[in-house]
A = this chain, B = another copy of it.
Amino acid sequence: MSGGLDFEGWTCPVPLRDTPTVVMGHGGGGAMSGELVEHLFLPAHGTAGNTVLGDSAVVDVGGARIAFSTDAYVVKPMVFPGGCLGDLAVNGTVNDLAMAGATPLYLSIAYILQEGTPLTEVRRIAAAAGAAARAAGVRLITGDTKVVDNGSGDGVFVTTSGVGLVAAGVEIGPHRATPGDAVLISGDLGVHGVAVLSVRAGLEFDTAVSSDTAPLNGLVAAVLATGADVHVLRDPTRGGVAASLNEIARTAGVGVSLEERRLPVPGGVADACSLLGLDPLEVANEGKLLAFVPRDDADRVLAAMRGHPLGAGARRIGVCVPEHPGMVVARTALGGTRVVNMPIGEQLPRIC
């Protein structure tokens, strides 16, 4: 897709009507996931036309500004280099709250267990969830457990939900992306996806990549403490940076221009992607954030990120532009440009 640009804007290449049943791509966090939400869930829920069912919502409850978020986790295998289902599920919901500028406070955790799963595995996952909650400074305060028969599940599925408090004056969301904003990333790309792939049956390869799963609320607090007018925060999970930036560009009606040579892709990730034909921009991250901040605030936000252990590799990767609204374009190392498309379906099933 390098070469000439198509500026006619993005339309879903796979209309929902062409897939009468659920396919893996509906869970990929890309265009097909968006289709399912936009054309099935929102109308069915009676909430079409809203921007609801995003990663989190901010609402008023009794005078408090509450962020509320939920995520289901079905990662396979349940244990992978650098983490497991338990800490992934806690960190993921902590991060969704943090990306709304909220201080994450309380989490719920619902387990769907498959009959026959060793209790030692269940315990390992639950212990990792507990440890992750303590590390993030949140409390697991309510939960549920259901069991499904053998053949109707796969080990353990976990759904976490969370509530957090949004301070007065904090207004962070994709709609605020503005031409001129610097686009920052807090560190290396594609690490989680490659770590999980590295232990998948039949796909093992020689790499030392460990998942980056981590709670980002501390890093966000450090960024907000600079006083910068942070416009957008987003953790590029399923669908990677490509999906997150495309969503932001479309929501705000702006363009995003990336410098490909500035993208921090570690060697292990680059090797794995090369071997498997993946684009590192589409691979899931679980401990990184994208930030859109006014150009004049970029240096102090970068300095704040680099002063935090989870942001040591922070760098500027691009800029928000008025051209090609709704599209993400990368300037390649060779000086050309290419469109960074919204991923369509599921290149890495059950990555989180």
Contact = CB atoms under 8 A, between A and B. Distances in A.
The count of identical subunits is 2
Interface in A54-107: 54-57, 59, 61-66, 68-74, 76, 105-106
Interface residues on A, range: 35 or more
In the complex, which of the residues A56, A131, A139, A144 has the most CB atoms of chain B within 10 Å of its own CB atom? Answer: A144
A151 B148 contact: no
Given A46-B134, A70-B144, A110-B159, A62 B59 contact: no
A165 B59 CA distance: 12
B147 A40 contact: no
A163 B68 contact: yes
A149 interface: yes
Given A72-B112, A72-B159, A41 B106 contact: no
B346 A41 contact: no
A138 B134 CA distance: 31
A312 interface: no
Contacts of A161: 68, 70, 108, 110, 159, 161
A144 B110 contact: no
A110 B140 contact: no
Give chain A's interface secondary structure class: mixed
B70 A109 contact: yes
A350 interface: yes
Contacts of A11: none
A71 to B, nearest CB: 5
Interface string A98-137: 0000000110111111111111101100110111011000
A12 interface: no
27 contacts: A20-B118, A22-B117, A22-B119, A23-B147, A26-B147, A44-B130, A45-B130, A52-B142, A53-B141, A53-B142, A55-B142, A56-B142, A57-B142, A61-B61, A61-B105, A64-B66, A66-B163, A68-B106, A68-B142, A69-B108, A70-B143, A76-B152, A110-B159, A147-B349, A148-B350, A153-B153, A159-B161
Interface of A: 16, 19-28, 33, 36-37, 40-41, 44-47, 52-57, 59, 61-66, 68-74, 76, 105-106, 108-120, 122-123, 126-127, 129-131, 133-134, 139-149, 151-154, 157, 159, 161, 163, 165, 346, 349-350, 352
